[in-house]
A and B are shown apart, each in its own frame.
Chain A
Amino acid sequence: DTGVSQDPRHKITKRGQNVTFRCDPISEHNRLYWYRQTLGQGPEFLTYFQNEAQLEKSRLLSDRFSAERPKGSFSTLEIQRTEQGDSAMYLCASSLDGYRGTEAFFGQGTRLTVV
């Protein structure tokens, strides 16, 4: 399977704990995006990388959130001191420069539940 892979698929954590999610993009894709989606809404942009450079961060990305893509391949999204409002589906997508528009391909997501 050469699609975007996210791990874990589901995460239940207690309020105040830290969590880390991993995303492996399509291998030749140089852009990687993180989005968050709550029930009944479209995905909201969090941040994106071109290779290892983080090019844009949303105001939604508070100080508790950090994302890295150290070698321009996989990426991690960490949430520190989780809150109940962080409960959502976290989606990762990747795309290739030079292609039509932003043809972003999504992973299956990580469902986070903060209890």
Chain B
Amino acid sequence: TQLLEQSPQFLSIQEGENLTVYCNSSSVFSSLQWYRQEPGEGPVLLVTVVTGGEVKKLKRLTFQFGDARKDSSLHITAAQPGDTGLYLCAGARTSGSRLTFGEGTQLTVNP
């Protein structure tokens, strides 16, 4: 069983602060996806990383895939209240195969 562990589980910060969310596994993934989910809605895809060491930037969000493709991180710079939500990492063992999700990080950014 491939297990993805996310940390922290909960994060409450003030607007303007920086934060990092971690996603770790003992298994190698062919790709890793990050999603953001709001209450009552489905997860929305933010990014896909497939190459070990890959770094992708999406405005104030920076995603990194570990060199060994076992872990990933999401860094948010100058967080805003609109960043509030549940952040989920999900790994796929092969292209097109099912995703294994972490338990999520609930982020709250206070004005």
Residues of A within 8 A of B (CB): 4, 6, 31, 33, 35, 40-45, 48, 50, 56, 91, 93, 95, 97-109, 111
Contact = CB atoms under 8 A, between A and B. Distances in A.
A45 B42 CA distance: 14
B68 to A, nearest CB: 16
Interface of B: 6, 30-33, 35, 40-45, 48-50, 88, 90, 92, 95-104
Given A97-B96, A100-B31, A101-B32, A107 B103 contact: no
23 contacts: A42-B101, A43-B88, A43-B101, A45-B100, A50-B96, A91-B42, A97-B96, A99-B95, A100-B48, A100-B95, A101-B31, A101-B32, A101-B33, A101-B92, A102-B95, A102-B96, A103-B31, A103-B33, A104-B45, A104-B90, A108-B41, A109-B40, A109-B41
B99 A104 contact: yes
Contacts of A48: 98
Contacts of A50: 96
A48 B48 CA distance: 20
Contacts of A40: 103-104
B96 A95 contact: yes
Contact of A45 (B33, B41, B48, B99): B99
B40 A111 contact: yes
Given A31-B96, A42-B88, A91-B42, 6 more contacts: A43-B101, A100-B31, A101-B30, A102-B97, A103-B48, A106-B44
A103 B96 CA distance: 8
A96 B61 CA distance: 25
Contacts of A95: 96
